[in-house]
């Protein structure tokens, strides 16, 4: 077992997480436990937990349908109403069992219900284990714009068991891997080298890479919990990546994109901007582009999409005074925050992406 101290809350990482969860419940009192899950986390993860954690036997279960399109205010309304019907009070605990959608939305619902009840995260996807479950950003999409409504609020604790990743398909694992690539690029050259050698066909021996990634995210978040400065580095790839993700969410005829797939495309675009704005050397631009494009299939984007994509970028929360704000690389392992780019340059970056394949 390994414990990482996050800001005011512990992150437990273990291959037998039930022991840690039992210890946690033995030391705490809650008037009621509510498990929020989707059909996959309920099928693949809940049974092992309930078999090993006596406190879970009396827990209420709320199941929602999986998918980013459900991370919205309508589902939140239903969840608040259900918590009320179940008699949830301020001594109750919401247990977010699932990926980033469950963690983001469950955290938001808990943070706002009766002005806030406690919650813990048991992340069950690679993406949520290395990124979404840590750092206290909770929220939902509004009119398909990513994470437009939310708050900063920390969980009571995070329990990570990499055994849960066994039932994730390779596409979902690669989605999480994109955030691990980001962590390496913004903060740690040696992590980048290890990430380059990772076995992404089988994801074998990944625990140490996962721990290193969590550690990078945690360190950055500890230094700047409410994103006044250095935490913005974690948004590398996300100004353009979120716009791509939102764009595909709003187009019913487009194939659904996973979060990490959109971020991978965003990172290629923003690596191009890094070459233009923050002096990222040409050889690093080539190295990063070749690595990411060798892993993630090309997302079909054409010039006719550029206008809406750039409109969506103006919803990004980092923007100030209607200026697009980027976190860009000056070298592999080094990120410069609060960079701006003209629309023409952003369009060049999108063209660079389409030509990278
Ligand atoms: N709060 C943050 O700091 C932060 C950071 C990064 C991403 N995010 C958010 O996280 C979300 C993406 O997270 P995600 O990729 O985990 O998506 P997700 O929650 O949609 O999960 C992906 C899929 O995996 C399934 N699943 C979950 N656990 C499983 C398991 N053990 N076995 C098999 N299937 C399983 C889910 O049902 C879903 O179909 C996005 O909404 C993104 O905006 C938040």
pTM for this model (two decimals): 0.96
Cα of 342 from ligand 1 centre, angstroms: 32
Summarize pLDDT for 161-214 with one digit per residue, the tens: 999 999 999 999 999 999 999 999 999 999 999 999 999 999 988 999 999 999
* Domain boundaries, position 290: 170-355
The sign of the torsion formed by the CA atoms of 77, 79, 82, 87 equals negative
**Does residue 322 register a pLDDT over 90?**
no
Q: How far is CA 101 from the centre of its chain?
A: 9
**Does residue 5 register a pLDDT over 80?**
no
Q: Are residues 35 and 93 in the same domain?
A: yes
Cα of 341 from ligand 1 centre, angstroms: 30
Q: Whose CA is nearest to atom 33 of ligand 1?
A: 168
- The pLDDT score that the predictor gives to residue 173 is 98
The Cα-based distances of 65 to 41, 68, 125 in angstroms read 11, 10, 16
Q: Are residues 328 and 203 in the same domain?
A: yes
- What is the rounded CA–CA span in Å between residue 278 and residue 294? 24
- The pLDDT score that the predictor gives to residue 1 is 75
Cα of 128 from ligand 1 centre, angstroms: 6
Summarize pLDDT for 187-196 with one digit per residue, the tens: 999 999 999 9
Summarize pLDDT for 128-137 with one digit per residue, the tens: 999 999 999 9
- The pLDDT score that the predictor gives to residue 328 is 98
Mutating to test ligand 1, I would choose from 6, 17, 36, 40 the residue with most ligand atoms within 8 A of its C-beta, which is 40
Q: Which residues fall within 8 angstroms of residue 160, CB to CB, at 6 or more apart?
A: 11, 12, 13, 14, 17, 122, 123, 129, 133, 210, 214
- The pLDDT score that the predictor gives to residue 121 is 98
| pLDDT average, residue stretch 85-104 | 98
Q: Are residues 190 and 302 in the same domain?
A: yes
Among 167, 192, 214, residue at a domain's last position:
167
| pLDDT average, residue stretch 94-102 | 98
Q: Are residues 283 and 185 in the same domain?
A: yes
Q: What is the CATH number of the domain that holds 127?
A: 3.40.50.1970
* Residue 38 CA, closest ligand 1 atom number: 37
Q: Are residues 188 and 228 in the same domain?
A: yes
pLDDT tier at 151, thresholds 50, 70, 90: very high
- The pLDDT score that the predictor gives to residue 298 is 97
Summarize pLDDT for 220-270 with one digit per residue, the tens: 999 999 999 999 999 999 999 999 999 999 987 777 899 999 999 999 999
| pLDDT average, residue stretch 73-96 | 98
Q: Which residues share a beta bridge with 98?
A: 123
- The pLDDT score that the predictor gives to residue 135 is 95
* Pairing state between β 2-5 and 10-13: antiparallel
- Total domains present in the chain: 2
- Which residue ranges have their beta carbon within 6 Å of ligand 1? 38, 40-41, 44-45, 66, 68, 71, 98-102, 104, 124-125, 127-128, 131-132, 135, 137, 146-147, 164, 167-168, 172, 175, 259
Q: Whose CA is nearest to atom 2 of ligand 1?
A: 132
| pLDDT average, residue stretch 50-57 | 96
* DSSP codes of every residue in 81-126: HHHHHTT--TT-EEEEEESHHHHHHHHHHHHHGGG--EEEEEE-SH
Q: Are residues 174 and 111 in the same domain?
A: no
* Residue 164 CA, closest ligand 1 atom number: 31
* Residue 167 CA, closest ligand 1 atom number: 32
Q: Are residues 245 and 147 in the same domain?
A: no
pLDDT tier at 6, thresholds 50, 70, 90: confident
In the chain, the percentage of residues whose pLDDT exceeds 70 is 99
Summarize pLDDT for 289-310 with one digit per residue, the tens: 999 999 999 999 999 999 999 9
**Does residue 278 register a pLDDT over 90?**
yes
Kindly give the interhelix angle for 282-295 and 170-187, rounded to the nearest 10 degrees: 170
Q: Are residues 157 and 297 in the same domain?
A: no
Q: Which residues share a beta bridge with 10?
A: 5
Mutating to test ligand 1, I would choose from 41, 100, 166, 173 the residue with most ligand atoms within 8 A of its C-beta, which is 100
Among 110, 136, 167, residue at a domain's last position:
167
Cα of 127 from ligand 1 centre, angstroms: 6
Q: Are residues 33 and 145 in the same domain?
A: yes
* Residue 101 CA, closest ligand 1 atom number: 19
Q: How crowded is residue 87: how many other Cβ atoms within 10 Å of its Cβ?
A: 10
- The pLDDT score that the predictor gives to residue 320 is 82
């Amino acid at each position: 077992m390994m414990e990482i101290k996050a800001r005011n809350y512990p992150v437990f990482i273990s291959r037998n997480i039930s022991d840690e969860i039992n210890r946690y419940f033995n030391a705490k009192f809650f008037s009621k436990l509510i498990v929020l899950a989707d059909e996959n986390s309920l099928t693949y993860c809940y049974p092992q937990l309930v078999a090993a954690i006596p406190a879970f036997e009396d827990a209420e279960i709320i199941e929602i349908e999986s998918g980013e399109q459900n991370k919205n205010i309508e589902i939140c309304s239903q969840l608040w109403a259900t918590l009320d019907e179940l008699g949830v009070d301020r001594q109750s605990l919401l247990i977010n069992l699932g990926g980033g959608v469950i963690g983001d939305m469950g955290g938001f619902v808990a943070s706002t219900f009766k002005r806030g009840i406690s919650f813990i995260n048991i992340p069950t996807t690679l993406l949520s284990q290395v990124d979404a479950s840590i750092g206290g950003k909770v929220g939902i999409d509004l009119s398909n714009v990513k994470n437009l409504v939310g708050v900063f609020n920390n969980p009571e604790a995070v329990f990570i068991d990499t055994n849960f990743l066994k039932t994730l398909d390779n596409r979902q694992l690669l989605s999480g891997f994109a955030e691990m690539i980001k962590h390496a690029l913004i903060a740690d050259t040696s992590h980048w080298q290890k990430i380059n050698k990772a076995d992404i066909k089988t994801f074998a021996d990944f625990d140490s890479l996962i721990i290193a990634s969590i550690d990078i995210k945690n360190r950055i978040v500890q230094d700047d919990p409410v994103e006044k400065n250095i935490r913005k580095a974690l948004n590398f790839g996300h100004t353009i990546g979120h716009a791509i993700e939102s764009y595909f969410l709003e187009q019913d005829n487009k194939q659904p994109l996973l979060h990490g797939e959109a971020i991978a495309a965003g990172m290629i675009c923003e690596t191009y901007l890094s070459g233009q704005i923050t002096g990222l050397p040409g050889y690093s631009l080539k190295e990063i582009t070749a690595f990411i494009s060798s892993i993630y299939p090309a997302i079909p984007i054409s010039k006719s999409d550029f206008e809406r994509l750039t409109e969506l970028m103006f919803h990004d929360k980092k923007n100030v005074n209607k200026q697009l704000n980027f976190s860009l690389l000056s070298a592999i392992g080094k990120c410069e925050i609060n960079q701006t780019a003209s629309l023409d340059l952003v369009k060049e970056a999108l063209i660079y992406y389409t030509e990278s394949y």
